[in-house]
A and B are shown apart, each in its own frame.
Chain A
Amino acid sequence: MVATKILTNAQILMGGYNLSADFNQIALTETVDMLDATTFGQTTRIYKGGLSRIRMTGAGLVQEGSGLVGTVLYAEVGVEDEVVSIWPDTITEGVFTGGGFAFKAVTARYTPLAGGVGELLRFTVEAESRGVV
């Protein structure tokens, strides 16, 4: 049986806030710059892995008020060294496999207002790695 997982209870912690119940989409991506190392005489492009980066993108439903997601994310933009940890399905203590993923982040983009007529007000947020461990 394939050990697939249905994403139903992801846990999202940003800094001092547990925002799990506010998000309904989450993605975590690690990339490296692809440096073109092609020289004369090659018949295909040759790439070399460059600097890496981590990006978290997420979306959810806006709630405004002290300690609520709209207020928290608004204040997070540009703040450096916030710890972001994302856990695919609840949090089980004492395991790496099935555990979470974390990085030191700076929130790069926050869209506090998105949606169409008749829809719930949505937010989107992007955080990038600070580049330090």
Chain B
Amino acid sequence: MAIMRVAALKDFRANALSTSQNATAYDLGPLTASQKLVGLFHLTGGYNSTQRVLVATLQGSTSSGFGVVTTGFTFGLSTAVGSTWPAPIAISTELRYFRSAFAMSTAASTGGTWNGLAGMGIQ
């Protein structure tokens, strides 16, 4: 295991997330056939309630407009601070643009904010 270089996809440590959104897409690919995508997620401040849940994903696309989206990871953290780094995955070598996306359920509540950092690496 080597130290992994990582790129931040969304730094929301200072400016908390309160609404669902697709973060800015960045040209960080493509991966070669032998490479794998690594996702990391720090949740440094979480809305501690089960009434509203944050679902964070790491997505890739062949175009900056994200016409067709491939979801690489869904991060499990949602209501408590912590970190996660799921097992690396192989993805299509056609994917070039990557972004993080955040969906917040509003079925039971519309309150709450989250702070943290989403990023990716290439193994």
Which A residues lie at the B interface, using CB under 8 A? 13-18, 28, 30, 52, 54, 81-83, 85, 87, 91-96, 99-104, 129, 131-133
Contact = CB atoms under 8 A, between A and B. Distances in A.
B44 A104 contact: no
A94 B26 CA distance: 5
B6 A102 contact: yes
Interface string B17-51: 00000001011100000000010111110100000
Contacts of A93: 7-11, 24, 26
Interface centre among B6, B41, B80, B81 (most CB of A within 10 A): B6
Contacts, number: 106
Chain B contact-residue range equals 35 or more
Interface string B49-67: 0000000000000000000
Given A30-B2, A101-B4, A102-B4, A15 B81 contact: yes
Contacts of A96: 5-7, 28, 122
- Which label, helix, strand, loop or mixed, suits the secondary structure of the A interface? strand
Contact of A100 (B1, B24, B119): B119
A16 B80 contact: yes
A87 B38 CA distance: 17
B117 interface: yes
Nearest to B5: A96
B112 interface: no
Contacts of A15: 42, 81-83
Contacts of B5: 96, 99-101
Nearest to A53: B1
B1 A52 contact: yes
B72 interface: no
B82 A91 contact: no
Nearest to B122: A96
Nearest to B82: A16
Given A54-B1, A94-B24, A103-B1, 7 more contacts: A15-B82, A52-B1, A54-B2, A96-B7, A99-B6, A101-B6, A133-B87
